[in-house]
């Protein structure tokens, strides 16, 4: 195993998992408290971390030295005045300490490949990229995590959970653990459990609201809207999210007319395929002119709300009464 690791990418959950894996593979559990040190690159120089690598461990074994938020390997401009001597890092990489594992964490989308230090790290270090999981990868991850918690879940359940939470792995894991504890090992996480137990978001409620509006279930739509008001959600924010959802329905309809498949449409408008499928069913309930008319009403309503011409909550309720 190499003694210098660079962990970069936007998915913090995967970065933390990889970091912990390196620690577990390097240091026995009973020694970790004293043999792992952490340096924040926004507060201390990389030279201090390198000095730490070359210091003999208190317990005489290996040590892991972690550099957090190594922005100096990206295009990110620092506000803090910390002097990072990158020449010393270049020298260290040529002959790293045999008793220390240096882990450089870069929680950013990309490394700056123009920098000499980055080029050398890619040659000499073990580089791990933590990409955000999408599509099938995210689906498989949720399936695996539910199995690890001793419960099963259907395809419909996985898709619903992802539609509620998105790709935030920390939040997905927390919700899976919570629901698994609720239903107990050996049982199946059903759609009703997800609807009842998953921590709600405004976007989730908006999708339910649109579904109720399109299906002409006015009573359900008003109950959902009343619940949003009770939670203190702002009417203008709600109207903007409704407008975004109806724009998606219009886009789907237009792209379908061009003969694109659902998969091609998903790629073009950057939506998960299962969400395209779900929204495609909703868009089919309208003619194109109807959707344009609704979007025009929403634009006018947004303007009236922002200029104080109408009572926000009453105007939103009137709009839903008109189209549901």
Q: Please spell the DSSP secondary structure of 190-225, one letter per residue.
A: -HHHHHHHSPP-HHHHHHHHHHHHHTT-HHHHHHHH
Predicted pLDDT of residue 44: 92
Q: What is the chain's pLDDT, residue by residue, as a tens digit (324 residues)?
A: 789 999 999 999 999 999 999 999 999 988 888 889 999 999 999 999 999 998 876 666 789 999 999 999 999 877 767 889 899 999 999 999 998 999 999 999 999 999 999 999 999 999 999 998 888 899 999 999 999 999 999 998 998 898 888 888 998 999 999 999 999 999 999 999 998 888 777 777 888 888 888 888 889 899 989 988 888 888 998 999 899 889 999 999 999 889 888 888 888 887 777 778 888 888 888 888 999 999 999 999 999 999 999 999 999 999 999 888
Structure tokens at 241: 């999210």
Q: What is the CA radius of gyration of the chain?
A: 26
Predicted pLDDT of residue 305: 92
Pick from 122, 285, 311: nearest CA to 217: 285
Strands 126-129 and 152-153: unpaired
Is the pTM here over 0.75, yes or no? no
Predicted pLDDT of residue 151: 96
Pick from 276, 270, 274, 269: nearest CA to 159: 274
């Amino acid at each position: 195993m190499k003694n210098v690791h660079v962990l970069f990418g936007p998915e913090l959950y995967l970065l933390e998992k990889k970091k912990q894996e390196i620690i577990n593979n390097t240091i026995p559990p009973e020694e970790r408290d004293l043999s792992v040190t952490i340096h924040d690159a926004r507060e201390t120089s990389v030279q201090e971390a390198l000095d730490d690598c070359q210091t003999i461990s208190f317990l005489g074994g290996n040590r892991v030295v972690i550099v957090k938020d190594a922005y100096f390997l990206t295009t990110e401009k620092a506000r803090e005045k910390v002097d990072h001597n990158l020449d010393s890092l270049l020298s260290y990489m040529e002959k790293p300490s045999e008793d220390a594992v240096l882990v450089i964490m870069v929680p950013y989308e990309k490394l700056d490949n123009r920098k000499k230090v980055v080029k050398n790290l890619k040659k000499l270090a073990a580089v791990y990229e933590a990409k955000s999981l999408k599509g099938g990868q995210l689906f498989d991850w949720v399936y695996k995590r539910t199995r690890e918690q001793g419960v099963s879940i259907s395809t419909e359940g996985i898709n619903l959970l992802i539609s509620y939470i998105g790709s935030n792995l920390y939040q997905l894991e927390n919700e899976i653990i919570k629901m698994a504890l609720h239903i107990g090992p050996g049982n199946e996480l059903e759609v009703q459990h997800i609807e009842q137990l998953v921590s709600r978001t405004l976007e989730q409620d908006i999708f339910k609201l649109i579904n109720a509006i399109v299906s002409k279930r006015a009573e359900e739509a008003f109950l959902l809207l009343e619940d949003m008001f009770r939670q203190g959600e702002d009417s203008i924010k709600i109207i903007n999210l409704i407008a975004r959802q109806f724009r998606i329905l219009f886009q789907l309809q237009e792209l379908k007319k061009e003969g694109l498949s659902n998969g091609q449409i998903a790629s073009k408008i950057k939506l998960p395929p299962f969400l395209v499928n779900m929204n495609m069913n909703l868009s089919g309930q309208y003619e194109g002119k109807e959707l344009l008319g609704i979007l025009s009403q929403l634009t006018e309503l947004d303007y009236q709300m922002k200029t104080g011409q109408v009572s926000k909550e009453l105007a939103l309720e009137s709009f839903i009464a008109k189209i549901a």
